[in-house]
Amino acid sequence: MMGAAILTNLPALLVVVPLLLAPFSAVLPIAGLAWVLALVGTGISFLAALMLQSVTENGVRISYHLGNWEPPWGIEFVVDSASSLTLVVMSGLGFLATLAARRLVAIEIADKDSGKFYAAWLLVVGGLFGLVMTADAFNLFVFLEISALASVILIGMGAGTDRRALVAGYHYLVIGAVGATFYVIGVGFIYAITGTLNMGDMASRLPDAAGGAALYVGFGFMVAGMLVKAAIFPVHIWLPAAYGYAPSAVSTMLAAIATKAALYVLARIFFTIFAGTPEIVDIALSNIIVPLAVGGIFVGTIMAIYEADIKKMFAHSSVAQIGYIALGLALATPAGISAGFIHIGNHALIKGGIFMAIGGFVAALGARASLETITGIGRRMPITATAFLICGLSLAGLPLTAGFISKLYLVRAILETDSYVILALVLISSALSVVYLWKVMEVMWMQPAPARSPKLVENPAIYLPLWMVALGNIWFGIDAGWIVGAARLAATALLGGGA
């Protein structure tokens, strides 16, 4: 009985467990216990996501009515192949990031704040899961705000080690709020046309509703708002500072999962809500999103090349990688969307690992990681640095790493659409990304450590989860069948129309 109840309520569980554990965590006086709660919360979510994924694997689409209120009055959660893959990626990396957080947080956050830290952490994670599952356009805004405000708290907590975190958090708050507001204005317009907030109903009513200008405005505001959240160029400006100055654990979690949720929502807007009005979607994708994605790829890569601060360097690199994902999705072909989903998973693995490793460096150095401070760190912290190297190779897209699979399928998808200019640009940017990776690796491995540098201690609490992620990069580079298959199903589910 109990088992069946859990199974049928899995979608709710995924969101409710982290959100409910958050207040308990906030009042817990012991940092370790708060961490355990966070671990349990993300762990349960991960299990739930895996179960949902196995259910949706054969094309099943789960519609869950919160509180048994029928949509469109009640809120509907939808889990199909597309959202379940996103959920597995996010919850899996969220769990691993939480594992690594224990030590990173102990170093960077004051003990008395730990409870609140993990409370905000659980709110972010739970909010992001909700974002992915909800089929209610306004409810999506609520989850957006839950995760965004909690993220601001987490970023601001970086102030303990670097005061610039406060400014970064403030920027994120303001820019993120503008994005969320845009989105909700857009929802308002579409509600005015269709009289519903349920995405599926919106989709079915939009083609017949004489929307006119309101349709365009609503669509434009919704998309623009989510572009901010997904950190698509040129509205990505909040991201480098936010990831750069946030506490290491937070950078890891945000880089691995936060923008993924927003990208997924973008895909939902394009391919679910506005599935019935393909003409505006096509125009927006090919004339706006594709150029912006390519622009982001270049801006992010070039900024990374000129950045000396390691965390910010890889934050810039994230802007470029988000561009790759957005580009894949914007191709709007089954192959393109699959490529986007493949990279959603693989990039989470890559960046999760990279920021965890940087966290390890920062923890051992007791200073910000810059090209200067990590000089010769390859020999001083071989375990962490080797894992970092593996994730770096994956980012560069070398065979036998997950990153290679991403590049391969993205290139194939671009080629299918005969967009040779885009293909050339992607290849050039991909070659450019080798430049900043080389810079970091060269400093780490090929230069001697400064004379009389103190011995650095590597902590298993950081490097064990880090190595799980690093080996994940290799595992999914050798056995890519799962992610490729799941991404293909996700593309089918998204393009299948309706919700």
Partner 1 sequence: MMSLHTAMLVGLLAPLVVAILTPFLAVRHVWRDAAGPIGGVITFIAAVHVALAVLDGETPRLFVAQIAEGLALEFAVTPLGAIFGLVASGLWILAALYSVGYMRGNHEKHQTRFAAFYAVAVHAAMAVAWSGNLLVLFVFYEILTFSTYPLVTHKESALARNAGRLYMSILVGTSVVLLLPAVVWVWLSTGTLDFRPGGYLAGQIDPAMAPILLALFAFGVGKAALMPIHRWLPAAMVAPTPVSALLHAVAVVKAGVFTILTVVVYVFGIDFLAETGAADWLVWLSAFTILASSMVAITKDDIKARLAYSTISQLSYIVLGAAIASSIAVQGATLHIVMHAAGKITLFFCAGAIYVQAHLTKISELDGQGREMPWVFAAFFIGALSIIGIPPLGGSWSKFMLMVGAVDSGYLVILGVLGLSSLLNVYYLLEPVSRGFFRPKVKTVEVTSHPLVVIPPVLTAILSLLLFFYVDFFAALAKLMVIS
Q: Which pair of tokens denotes residue 443? A: 């400093």
Q: Which residue has the tokens 């990688």?
A: 321
* Cβ at position 489, least distance to partner 1 in Å: 15
C-beta closer to partner 1: residue 196 or 433 = 433
Question: Where along the sequence are the contacts to partner 1 (CB under 8 A)?
Answer: 396-400, 405, 407-408, 411-412, 415, 427, 431, 434, 438, 442, 446-448, 477-481, 484
* Cβ at position 400, least distance to partner 1 in Å: 5
* Cβ at position 424, least distance to partner 1 in Å: 11
Vertex 147 angle, CA 144 and 148, to 5° = 80
* Cβ at position 421, least distance to partner 1 in Å: 16
* Cβ at position 187, least distance to partner 1 in Å: 39
CA torsion, points 210, 215, 216, 221, in degrees to nearest 10? Answer: 170
* Cβ at position 56, least distance to partner 1 in Å: 22
C-beta closer to partner 1: residue 138 or 438 = 438
C-beta closer to partner 1: residue 259 or 406 = 406
* Cβ at position 477, least distance to partner 1 in Å: 7
* Cβ at position 404, least distance to partner 1 in Å: 8
> How buried is 446 (Cβ within 10 angstroms: 0-12 exposed, 13-18 middle, 19+ buried)?
exposed
* Cβ at position 171, least distance to partner 1 in Å: 35
* Cβ at position 30, least distance to partner 1 in Å: 43
C-beta closer to partner 1: residue 37 or 480 = 480
Q: Which pair of tokens denotes residue 18? A: 């982290």
CA distances from 57 to 44, 159, 212, 298, 487 (A): 20, 43, 39, 36, 11
The one-letter code for the residue type at 220 is G
C-beta closer to partner 1: residue 235 or 396 = 396
C-beta closer to partner 1: residue 7 or 478 = 478
C-beta closer to partner 1: residue 265 or 395 = 395
C-beta closer to partner 1: residue 168 or 393 = 393
C-beta closer to partner 1: residue 163 or 412 = 412
SS (H, E, C) the chain: CHHHHHHHCHHHHHHHHHHHHHHHHHHCCCHHHHHHHHHHHHHHHHHHHHHHHHHHCCCCCEEEEHHHCCCCCCCEEEECHHHHHHHHHHHHHHHHHHHHHHHHHHHHCCHHHHHHHHHHHHHHHHHHHHHHHECEHHHHHHHHHHHHHHHHHHHHHHHHCCCHHHHHHHHHHHHHHHHHHHHHHHHHHHHHHHCCCEHHHHHHHCCCCCCCHHHHHHHHHHHHHHHHHHCCCCCCCHHHHHHHHCCHHHHHHHHHHHHHHHHHHHHHHHHHHCCCCHHHHHHHHHHHHHHHHHHHHHHHHHHHHCCCEHHHHHHHHHHHHHHHHHHHHHCCCHHHHHHHHHHHHHHHHHHHHHHHHHHHHHHHHCCCCECCCCCCHHHHCHHHHHHHHHHHHHHHCCCCCHHHHHHHHHHHHHHHCCCHHHHHHHHHHHHHHHHHHHHHHHHHHHCCCCCCCCCCCCCHHHHHHHHHHHHHHHHHHHCCHHHHHHHHHHHHHHHCCCC
C-beta closer to partner 1: residue 70 or 418 = 418
* Cβ at position 445, least distance to partner 1 in Å: 8
C-beta closer to partner 1: residue 164 or 379 = 379
* Cβ at position 431, least distance to partner 1 in Å: 5
C-alpha span between 272 and 264 (Å, rounded): 11
C-beta closer to partner 1: residue 166 or 411 = 411
* Cβ at position 399, least distance to partner 1 in Å: 5
C-beta closer to partner 1: residue 240 or 378 = 378
Instruction: List the one residue out of 122, 120, 129, 110 whose CA is nearest residue 153.
Output: 120
CA distances from 464 to 103, 351, 378 (A): 11, 16, 17
